[in-house]
Amino acid sequence: MTTPDAVFGAQSTAEDVLAGTDLTGTVALVTGTSAGIGVETVRTLAAHGATVVAAARDTGKAHGALGAVGVDVGGAVTIEEVDLASLASVRAFTDRIAATHDRLNLLVANAGVMACPEGRTTDGFETQFGTNHLGHFVLVNRLVPLLVAGAPSRVVCLSSTGHRGSDVDLDDPNFELTPYEPWAAYGRAKTANALFAVELDRRLRDQGVRAAAVHPGGIDTELFRHLAPEMLARIAALRDRSPKTVAQGAATTVWAGVVADADAVGGRYCEDCAVAEVNDDPRAPSGVRPYAVDPDNAAALWARSEELVGERFA
């Protein structure tokens, strides 16, 4: 097993983090498994013995991507279809998982879109908030009974340093009152991902389920597909370090989900395999903004999210 005092950082890979860890008997579910960090997360968990449900909107693409990195699809890894931009798809997916699994030990809410053109999900929500947050809000909550059955268990929500650009706007979540701006929408969605982990952890920790948010780092993946060349150049110029590899990008996810002390990461925002400092300085290249870990903000987002999706979660 990985030693509790092992030190990992920005350059660590998911394999580094899980070195010596046997995950036999662990049942994990990962969303967004057709490319990038999601594929590496599935590959690493399965390589260490976990049984993994790989959830993806495009199952054919997921099958090809996972097979290309040596994952035994159909063995310890199964692929399930879910479109986070459709709550009907999310609910059908969770019904299938609940009917075929008796527990979950780890759920990684990894899927997402970034800085896309203005649009709406099937249910009429702004695309980034609806997909990145509300889709996962319903998916995770409907699978809570399996997480409780698998306790001690964990939920890892993929946030981003992009949260530093915008707090959530609970009065105008769909940009109906203000002009749409792709990066503001992304910031709102990533702040929502962090706040969801805060409130989820508060509600479930006494039942043995802990939740954390993570920033994987700057990685050049398909998440960048909507960005024009000039925006890509701007991002590169703003980076304080070279882009991480996909293997490094998955490291904080598996660290928070498997290796780190549950009490240390529960309800927290993590980056570079560590709990991030709360930092309100806009010039700081790292850290988490106070509003993204504020418990009152998290509780308000939860209540508003229930209103929007038309479903309450005890």
Q: Which backbone phi and psi does 122 adopt, to 5 degrees?
A: -55, -35
- Gap between the Cα atoms of 296 and 24, Å rounded: 38
Residue of 34, 86, 186, 269 marked catalytic: 186
Q: Which backbone phi and psi does 124 adopt, to 5 degrees?
A: 90, 10
Is residue 219 very low, low, confident or very high in pLDDT (cuts 50, 70, 90)?
Answer: confident
- pLDDT digit string, tens, across residues 4-54: 457 899 999 999 999 999 999 999 999 999 999 999 999 999 999 999 999
Quote the pLDDT of residue 226: 47
Average pLDDT of 264-281? Answer: 96
What are the C-alpha distances in Å from 183 to residues 54, 227, 231, 268?
28, 11, 11, 23
Residue of 34, 86, 153, 159 marked catalytic: 159
Average pLDDT of 174-199? Answer: 98
Residue-range domain boundaries for the chain: 14-309
86 is annotated as an active-site residue? no
Nearest Cα to Cα of residue 77 among 126, 41, 122: 41
190 is annotated as an active-site residue? yes
Tokens 């920033």, residue? 215
186 is annotated as an active-site residue? yes
CATH of domain 14-309: 3.40.50.720
- Assess whether pLDDT exceeds 70 at residue 137: yes
Residue of 86, 153, 166, 190 marked catalytic: 190
Statement: the pTM of the whole predicted model exceeds 0.85: yes
Higher pLDDT, 242 or 59: 59
Q: What is the mean pLDDT of the chain?
A: 93
Across 179-188, 211-220, 284-293, the highest mean pLDDT is recorded for 179-188
Quote the pLDDT of residue 282: 78
Nearest Cα to Cα of residue 69 among 214, 217, 245, 223: 245
Average pLDDT of 127-155? Answer: 98
Quote the pLDDT of residue 237: 47
Which ranges constitute the DSSP H helices of the chain? 14-18, 36-47, 59-68, 87-100, 127-128, 136-142, 144-149, 182-204, 229-238, 246-249, 251-254, 262-265, 295-309
